[in-house]
Amino acid sequence: MGRGRHRGRSQRKHFKESRENVWKRPRTDPTVDASDNAVADKPSWEPILTDNPNFEEYYKEQGLVRAEEWDVFMEILRKPLPAAFRVNSNSQFCDDIISILENDFVKSLQAEAIEGGELEAIKPLPWYPKNLAWHSNFSRKQIRKHKTLERFHEFLKLENEVGNITRQEAVSMVPPLFLDVHPDHFVLDMCAAPGSKTFQLLEIIHGASEPGTLPNGMVVANDVDFQRSNLLIHQTKRMCTSNLIVTNHEGQQFPGCRLNKSRASEKGLSEDMPINQLSFDRVLCDVPCSGDGTLRKAPDIWRKWNSGMGNGLHSLQVILAMRGLSLLKVGGKMIYSTCSMNPVEDEAVVAEILRRCGDSVELVDVSDKLPELIRRPGLKTWKVRDKGAWFTSYKDVPQNRRGGVLVSMFPFGKNLKETSETTEENENENENVGCKETDKSVVDAIPDEPVVEVSDLPLERCMRIIPHDQNTGAFFIAVLRKVSPLPEFQEKPNPRKHSSNKTADSTEKSPAEEAVVTADAEPVESPVEKVIEADADIEKDVSLVEPEKEKNTEGETIKEEKEANSSSHAGDKRKVPMQGKWKGFDPVVFLKDETLIDSIKEFYGIRDESFPLYGHLVTRNTDTSSVKRIYYVSKSVKEVLQLNFAVAQQLKIASVGLKMFERQTAKEGGSKPCSFRISSEGLPVILPYITKQVLYSPMADFKHLLEYKSIKFPDFVNKQLGQKAIDLVLGCCVVILSDGEEPVKVDASTIAISCWRGKNSLGVMVTSADCQELLERLAERTPKTEVGSVNGSYGDSGGPAEPMETA
């Protein structure tokens, strides 16, 4: 006992000491032999730099925090970010997960928290509804590295993998909460990767729907980067939703898919099309930014940061926000957000889009929402820094710098000198030329007098989250409402202002991008929209095309794809894909093979009137005989796909719908009535409508299936269950956990798994992680005397897996 207590104290002492060293990295010197004894006298790590004089000067000058707060502000920025996570409100084990956190980890981790000088190890975020979001006082690295937190780490890993929780920075959870999403809304997430906010939006849409029904709304999650799109798909796959489309476009060129009415009528499509353009009730525009709000999570930013990063992204951010507003329905809301503290990326962008949109867009006051979330009002005045010089007004910017310092970066957003000249000229339009020249010379004297610009827009309605207020990262959020169609004509920035901007992150807009900014997605077409959308239904996409990637062997093209948000290729000519198809992407095709669909319906006993399959199944292969996976799409996604076909496939779709059926080949051979099994992702959606190939298993046999992965028919504890399994047709089946042998009413709490009825045994068709997670949940519900051989500790993988009889 004494040795055990000593070991525990030693571990906690080591943990306490290492809390101060979580931002250390190995010091590597290739010239020194690792076997040299002298190395033993040198430390094996060195601190990551958490100091940048330019950063401190910049934000002191901007007045982001009061002078008396500055030291606390900088101190918290130099500390690692505490880990946070969110419980999936739609998980059938949501209440179980929260109970484990409240009754287990809150108490078991308390000793480590006290040793580290904290009052609580983990706690729910006070501003997030229903205790669904949690904050820990340990960084992700601490959780990953320290033995005392190993059980907690294993819990987080497992529940995240199966979709019961999402590991997400606390401030990143905020924007969807202010978007006010309803279950019938069409939502666009413009820059969605890695997907945590998309997952959150899907939770809200599904959570507000009637139990047992699919929402009428949907989410389109877009990202420009192909690799990040794959991460987005992996993240959202855990949600098991048929109400999602993942696309791969530049956000500023996201297609509106407007169907030309006259040509649609000629093709006979008008009566069959529920929607004739792609517009959204809600838009989340979480734009690319310099990211200095994530310093605590990504300390390498300390070394890289400079004020030019924000200046270079300003134009792109404005373009993205304007495109988001053009795709927004009248009455809809858009969130503009960044993980940057820089007013040039934050308030300046909001001010510019308000100026461009006039009275058609309003900045919404949400100060009464989420009162426990501490945030600060947006700034009304700020300065712009470029190459070591500070500017308080655009009139002070020399001509040779106006390519990199834009008028839209300033609070007024217009040239005071030019405005004054225009005013003088209007007042003296009947005067002679000499008087005008005299007045102009007076105005030219203005630059000698410093002017501090203060915006007359209600920018205080924006919100900025500051790290030391609630021990988080930093974030900026603005809520915008579209009250009327955008103006048809807007002032376009002078192209000259972009041409001389040579910073790495600068963005020069091409004429096509200018057109996108002014295009409005309302039913009344503006002249710009007519140019962009007029030929949308012909066999090639004129307005919105991108270069081939990933499967293209030319490195130059791949590089363009990875730098799509940069100005380096903004003016490049784009290749037009033939026949409206995107190279490198498999086509999305509605499954129309009635023989195949009927065989699936008959095999599983699915009545089409209760769960329609016709018109809701799609594949990524035009050859039915080669189809490997079949996806189910909701009514809303189906309508968008129909529109996309009608406009020559303008949407570049990376993923769509929910994988419902997958082709399966049995090792034992022989013909089967149905070659498609039900996927684990699709099972929760289709389960209430399956009437054949169903087994109801008591707890003991259900656990044995999860533990051993395969059970021979004679080895079932319940012999009647074994006989019923023999009576099933060879192929996929569903095993439902039941207290008895009679059918149970399927609801959200029903636990079921896909299995394969082989020649001599029954084998599970779910992942090892899903098996382990179910064993954990069932172990908590089972009295200890009944647990038997089922291992319920985190980190173990259960019993040995016997070979399955399926490929």
Q: Where are the alpha helices (DSSP H) in 449-488?
A: 467-470
Partnered with residue 694 across adjacent β-strands are: 734
Output the DSSP codes for 132-158. -EEEEEEEHHHHHH-GGGHHHHHHHHH
Helix H or strand E encompassing 232: helix 226-237
How far apart are the C-alpha atoms of 317 and 519, rounded to whole Å?
Answer: 16
**How many Cα atoms occupy the beta-carbon half-sphere of 418 within 13 Å?**
10
Catalytic-role residue among 240, 257, 285, 339 = 339
Closest among 694, 771, 780 to 738, alpha carbons compared: 694
* Residue 605 CB neighbour total at 10 angstroms: 12
- Contacts for 159 with CB less than 8 Å, ≥ 6 apart: 97, 165, 773
Residue 416, helix vs strand vs coil: helix
Give which of 154, 155, 209, 149 is closest to 185, Cα–Cα.
209
Beta-bridged to residue 590, according to DSSP, are: 618
Please list the residues that pair with 464 across neighbouring strands.
376, 476
The structure tokens 């004679």 sit at 714
Question: Is 197 annotated as ligand-binding?
Answer: yes
Token duo for residue 53: 């004089």
**Cα–Cα distance between 41 and 701 in angstroms, integer?**
59
> Which residues touch 676 (CB under 8 Å, ≥6 apart)?
600, 630, 661, 662, 663, 664, 732
Torsion of CA 395, 398, 399, 404, to 10 degrees: -90
701 has binding-site annotation? no
Give the span between the Cα atoms of 597 and 264, in whole angstroms: 30
211 marked among binding-site residues:
no
Query: For residues 642 and 635, is the Cβ–Cβ distance under 8 A?
Result: no
DSSP 288: -
Adjacent-strand bridge partners of 188: 220, 283
Q: How many CB atoms lie within 10 A of CB 522?
A: 21
3-state secondary structure of 579: helix
Q: What are 517's two structure tokens?
A: 């900014």
User: Is 289 annotated as a binding-site member?
Assistant: no
CB 332 within 8 A of CB 366: no
Which residue is it, tokens 């900088």?
Answer: 74
Rounded Cα distance between 797 and 791, Å, is 8
SS3 state at 629: strand
Look at residue 10 and give its three-state secondary structure.
helix
Residue 195 annotated as binding site: yes
SS3 48: coil
User: Over 51-104, what HEC string results?
Assistant: CCHHHHHHHHHHCCCCHHHHHHHHHHHCCCCEEEEEECCCCCCHHHHHHHHHHH
Q: 240 an active-site residue?
A: no
Q: Report residue 570: phi and psi, to 5°.
A: -60, -30
For the chain, state the CA radius of gyration.
30
Instruction: Determine the Cα–Cα distance for residues 49 and 70; give it in Å rounded to an integer.
Output: 19
Residue 192 annotated as part of some ligand binding site: yes
Q: Dihedral of CA 317/323/328/331: which sign?
A: positive
User: Binding residue per annotation — 549?
Assistant: no
Our separate counts of H helices and E strands in the chain read 29, 28
Contact assessment for residue 256 and residue 533, using Cβ atoms and an 8 Å cutoff: yes
Contact between 765 and 734 (Cβ < 8 Å): no
Distance set, CA 289 to CA 101, 153, 210, 464, 469 (Å) = 34, 31, 38, 15, 22
**Residue 196 assigned ligand-binding role:** yes
Residue 223 marked ligand-binding: yes
Question: Which residue numbers belong to the known binding site?
Answer: 191-197, 223, 286
Residues with catalytic annotation? 339
**Known binding-site positions for S-adenosyl-L-methionine:** 191-197, 223, 286
